[in-house]
Amino acid sequence: MKKIVWLKVFVFAACLTPLLYLSWALLQDALGANPIEELTRRSGEWTLRFLMITLCMTPVQKLFKQSWPIKLRRMLGLFTFFYASLHLLTYVWLDQFFAWGDILRDIIKRPFILVGMLAFLLLVPLAITSNQRMMRKLGRYWKRLHQLVYLIGGLGVLHFFWLVKKDLTMPTVYLLILVVLLGFRMILVWQRRLSYRRKSAVVQSPV
């Protein structure tokens, strides 16, 4: 088998370990006195971690001139969606037990829940259009659409900031990671513009 296939199998298995651990911990009653709260918190943290890892792929590819990060990006993105779904399901099912009225009230009244829901909703079209066929079908709009992930990253971190009672350490850590990752992309865009301008300047100069 080709190297990249092995890598993909390995990464796939690695991405499943948080799920396996959380399921095991839940069954073993190892999540403390309030397992539902703990499960909600941890699935949320894993969502953010996967989102950050996914956003790392492009910078890693550019910096190390490797192609594997881009080949893993879709899988990582889909795992982000997977853990986000798990997080939402924990809230809707285990925490609220489908009390739709209360859930709706939560969305309207609690900004952190509104922002979290919005981030999840924006993830849905990205997950749906992640396959080759949709990529081809959407053409140049695909990239535009998938740039939504930057907004989702911001909303995800904001969701974390607003839900914390007082200790902002962890949300700040995620914010810094996000700033670095998005900053890298801004530098890329800025460089491209610069080199484009230089080229056009060369063309315009009389021979």
For residues 140 to 179, the per-residue mask of contacts with other proteins, x marking binding by CB under 8 A and - elsewhere, is: -----------------------x-xxx------------
Q: Which residues contact 105 (CB under 8 A, 6 or more apart)?
A: none
Which of 102, 193, 194, 197 is the binder for other proteins (CB under 8 A)?
Answer: 102
In order of 51, 112, 143, 148, 193, the CA distances from 133 in angstroms are 23, 35, 14, 19, 31
Q: In terms of Cα–Cα distance, which of 39, 129, 41 is closest to 77?
A: 129
Using rule CB under 8 A, residue 12 touches other proteins: no
Q: Which residues contact 164 (CB under 8 A, 6 or more apart)?
A: 170, 171
Q: How far is the CB of 33 from other proteins (least distance, A)?
A: 3
**Residue at token pair 């971690």:** 49
Using rule CB under 8 A, residue 93 touches other proteins: no
Using rule CB under 8 A, residue 97 touches other proteins: yes
Using rule CB under 8 A, residue 34 touches other proteins: yes
Q: Which residues bind other proteins (CB under 8 A)?
A: 25, 30, 32-34, 36-37, 94-97, 99, 102, 105-106, 109-112, 163, 165-167
